[in-house]
Amino acid sequence: MKLQLKLALYNTITKIAIIAVLAFFILIFMNSISVNHIQQRLIDKKNKLVSNLSDMEINDLLTHQKTFTDYNILKEEYIILKQAENVDTLGKKESFSQEEREIEGNTQEYQILTEKFVFEDRKYQLEIGETMAAVEQLEHTILYFTLFILIVSVGLSLIADFAFTRFLLAPFYRIIDQKLNKVDDPMHYDYEPVKTSTQDFRELDASINSLMAKIADIFLIEKQFIANVSHELLTPISILNTRLENLLNDEQLSREGENKLFASLKTLNRLKAIINSLLLISRVENNQFSKTDEISIIKMITEVHEELEDRLTDMNLSFGMNLSEDFIFTGNKSLIHILLMNLINNAIKYNRQQGSIQISGKKNDEQFELIISDTGLGMKTEEIEKAFSRFEKLQSEKKDSYGLGLAIVRSIAAFHQIKIDIKSDIDKGTRVHLYFSL
Amino acid sequence: MNVLIIEDEKSLALEIAGFLGKEGFMIDHAWKKSSASEKIFVNSYDFILLDLGLPDGNGFDLLHQLKNLPGREDGVIILTARNAVDDRIKGLEEGADDYLAKPFSLSELLARMHAITRRKHKLEKNEVNIHGLTLDIRNRTVIFNNERINLTKKEYEIFNYLVLNKNRVISRMNLTEHVWGDILEINSDSNFVDVHVKNLRKKLANLIPIDWFETVRSIGYRINI
């Protein structure tokens, strides 16, 4: 989840929580206040009633046995007076309760004051009720109002938070994008600070800049080192090579001497090949190659196929290319050539006589997948993992391999952001999957 | 033909000089940029073998200087251990005729020099006779009794290279590198070239005896003329 979204969500949730808690307390508080008021009113009414009590009035109330509701249509209040027989309850003078009462066929919730009293030696029970409907209505209104406020404020705050965090975090995302995501070569890094008034982001920007400067320094040193090593190592090899070649031209050279010189030349050639391979890997990893060529996969494979055609015929291999559509991307032509050359050459080298090599391609929305499959010896799972390491030679590998071919493939693939996956079955063949991101 | 070798590594320069000397070239040396600059200015050469990393400066400057002199046709081959793709492209853009990465084989150097000569001077003699066969370098064919021998591109390359380096043993390794180029790991199984040589020899043996086309056991091949 993005930081911007998280912040907005956090703000919204806290707002909801605060309003909800507040509303809850207001409701409880209000309820108890109104109940209190009603009770006070009931007591006042009772006092008034009791103080004005007369025989006539009692009779009236008792005989009619009807509520005191003539004047109120909504049945907001009622008074009931009964003769009480139970003397025991006389101890308790007045009590409140909240109960449902049916008054003239209308059931409502009432706050009820019940009092037993003695008037002219007779016991009576008086009940005065006042409806709770008004309180409930108020409660409902407050509840709806709170809900309305809640929804509106959540909506508004979501929009406002989103807009604000977007504005606030814009420099942060700019830093991530420009200074980290888009940088694949520290030599071409833009040290211009991203404009922001937020100090934290400025610090982040500055530390990324200084980190990148350090990396660039290391790259430069490594680049220098590679150049020096290549010069310092290849020059003596060159001298030896030419000297041995000249010695070979000596007509007085014995047969044995000739053989030994050639063996030395071969060793020297091996040394050269190893150094060149290592230098190639270092240069690729050091981003010393440009990625500006437009490359067509079909064209490239056709080229490699032509170059390796004699090897294919030598082993009687059939070669099939099954690409429904071409894939064109930008990269380094000579490196991609080396990559395909190494992979297809491996497919030939470790194939069996009369085997086949099939190249197919699939394209979907995210990537282009190129599959090179052979019918060769295959590898064990643990061998596949090892195969990409430098100087790792497999038992099945031919003697004249230096074990650098796949290491080169891996570094070139990484340079071009190509994912490699190898699947292999012993004695059935190997499939190399290359995933080019679009 | 005269050659100027601009190379600060003396032993290498001397080895190249020894080899080219036997091939009949006149050799001149320069160890530094300053002396090379002088020599380029004073003399004109058929070939300049130019090392890029000189103790007192960059070889590219010399190339630049040479290209600014009017009417010069010196063939320039850059020899360098830097072997960076950029250098190669830059060198060829600046007007060098070829580029050889160190370490290189002397026979390869000779082949490149021949190629440049043919290109530059439209060589008067474009045909070489070998024991009754005619190697037509311009049309890249081999002719016997006025009839073209049907050779593949690689077979022709091999034959041409061996003829060019006549009377000298050329190793399989060297031959592979010449025909297929310097493709790193690929060169490792160098006996692959044998198939092509076998076919080539078969085709030639159908026409004439080829005892001059020697297989030097465990090393390579030699054409004696």
Sign of CA dihedral B37, B42, B48, B49: negative
A264 in contact with B, Cβ within 8 Å: no
Chosen for mutation from A249, A267, A306 (greatest number of chain B CBs closer than 10 Å) is A249
Asked if the Cβ–Cβ distance from B11 to A314 is below 8 Å, we say no
Residue in A239, A338, A408 nearest the CB of B11 = A239
Q: In what order do the strands lie in the sheet with B170-171?
A: B170-171, B220-223, B213-216
* Domain boundaries of chain B, sorted by first residue: 2-121, 127-223
Share of chain B above pLDDT 90, in %: 28
- pLDDT beyond 90 at B12: yes
Q: Is the pLDDT of residue B101 over 80?
A: yes
Cβ–Cβ contact A242 with B under 8 A: yes
Instruction: Name residues of chain A where pLDDT drops below 70.
Output: 63-75, 85-93, 390-402
Domain B127-223, architecture per CATH: Orthogonal Bundle (1.10)
Residues of B in contact with A280 (CB under 8 A): 184
B190 touches chain A (CB under 8 A): yes
pTM of the full structure: 0.66
Q: Cβ contact (<8 Å) for B104 and A241?
A: yes
Report whether A172 contacts A34 (CB < 8 A): no
Taking the CA of residue A210 and the nearest CA in chain B, the distance in Å comes to 29
Using the predicted structure, report yes or no on whether residue B193 has a pLDDT greater than 80. yes
Domain layout of chain A by residue ranges: 3-137, 199-285, 293-437
Give CA–CA dist A127/A113, Å, rounded.
Answer: 6
Residue A157 CA to chain centroid, in angstroms?
24
Say what the pLDDT of residue A370 is.
Answer: 93
CA dist B87 and B181 (Å) reads 18
Is some CB atom of chain A closer than 8 A to the CB atom of B90?
A: no
- Which residues, numbered 114 to 173 in chain B, qualify as contacts with chain A under a Cβ-Cβ cut-off of 8 Å? 154, 168-169, 171, 173
DSSP codes joined into one string, A165-206: HHHHHHHHHHHIIIIIIT-S-GGG---PPPP-S-HHHHHHHH
User: Could you tell me the end-to-end alpha-carbon distance of chain B, in angstroms, rounded to an integer?
Assistant: 22
Give the pLDDT score at A412.
92
Q: Between helices B172-180 and B193-205, what is the axis angle to 10°?
A: 90
Looking at CATH, the fold of the domain delimited by A293-437 is given as Heat Shock Protein 90 (3.30.565)
| Interchain proximity B188–A400, CB inside 8 Å | yes
Show residues of chain B in contact with A276, CB under 8 Å. Answer: 83, 182, 184
pLDDT value at position B14? 93
Rg (CA), chain A: 47
The mean pLDDT value of chain B amounts to 85
Interhelix angle B10-22/B106-121, rounded to 10 degrees, is 60
Could you tell me the fold of the domain covering B2-121?
Rossmann fold (3.40.50)
pLDDT of residue A65: 55
Interface confidence: ipTM more than 0.90: no
Mean pLDDT value across residues B34-46: 91
* DSSP per-residue string spanning A296-362: EHHHHHHHHHHHHHHHHHHTT-EEEEEESS--EEEE-HHHHHHHHHHHHHHHHHT--TT-EEEEEEE
Closest CB from B106, B189, B195 relative to A245:
B106
Decide: helix, strand or coil at residue A118. strand
Q: Residue A186 has what pLDDT?
A: 73
Over residues B55-81, the pLDDT tens digits come to: 888 888 999 989 888 888 888 999 888
